[in-house]
Amino acid sequence: MVVVMLPRRLFSAFLQASRRLATSPTTDGGYPKTEGAWPDDRWRSFLLPSRAHFASNCNTVVASRLQERTLIAVKPDGVQRRLVGEIIQRFEQRGFKLVGMKLIKASEDLLREHYIDLKRKPFYPSLIQYMNSGPIVVMVWEGYNVVKTSRLMVGATDPAEALPGTIRGDFGMHISRNVIHASDSVEVADREIGLWFSSIEMTDWECCTQSNIYSG
Ligand code: IDP
Ligand code: MG
């Protein structure tokens, strides 16, 4: 009898807990809000990681995303066409933080290294020549999800396909003169920032509008 009753009680406790979990309000992360929703808190600790553990993991992820960085460069055509101010303004207004910036005429060696993944493409030599034809403004921007968001702000590689409202969609005409560079992944951003900037060329600073841009 005990053998039959125990699994039944276990099963019914589990069933009640699942029903309450399914109907209880949740936070953004899906963790149940109400501490008392479970019939017995021992089940909670057995089945789920603690609330503190969950919250601290989320905070760590959010904090690291807030400090994500990307490399943005206004290419020679963008500098010649006086688009530097307009481009900086778009990133500032979006809420990103400028942590590094310089105007340079990049060496061919640096440009070859930067575009190393494209070295077998037929346009590689003309790309290096174009990027070496005049000064460029290289920047490091920081903020939540900055890599992905800046790619959206920049638009498709070919300005003919870039949507209006994107930088390439508003200012570009041809794929060989597409105004701006933006890193395309967090890993690539790390590599490119390391290539173009030394750590003393970047500045960490407290943004006094932080709480108006991010919550918590
Ligand atoms: P992305 O700049 O959007 O990341 P990638 O494919 O990484 O695009 O190419 C790097 C750069 O090479 C482009 O921004 C553009 O300047 C140039 N490029 C790419 N495809 C072509 C092409 O078909 N003809 C000429 N230049 C190209
Ligand atoms: Mg690219």
User: Residues 58-74: pLDDT tens digits?
Assistant: 456 666 678 899 999 99
pLDDT of residue 33 exceeding 50, the answer is no
Which residue's CA is the closest to the ligand 1 atom numbered 27?
Answer: 176
Which residue's CA is the closest to the ligand 1 atom numbered 20?
Answer: 175
Mean pLDDT, all residues of the chain: 82
Please state which of the ranges 17-21, 29-33, 112-116, 146-150 shows the lowest mean pLDDT.
29-33
Q: Give the three-class secondary structure for 174.
A: strand
Q: Say yes or no: CB of residue 50 within 6 Å of ligand 1.
A: no
How far apart CA 138 and CA 106 sit, in angstroms, is 10
pLDDT of residue 36 exceeding 80, the answer is no
Predicted pLDDT of residue 29: 34
| Local structure of residue 179 (DSSP, 8 states) | S
CA nearest 210: which of 146, 148, 143? Answer: 143
Q: Say yes or no: CB of residue 59 within 6 Å of ligand 1.
A: no
Region 161-165: mean pLDDT is 98
**Would you place residue 8 in the very low, low, confident or very high pLDDT band (cuts 50, 70, 90)?**
low
pLDDT of residue 53 exceeding 90, the answer is no
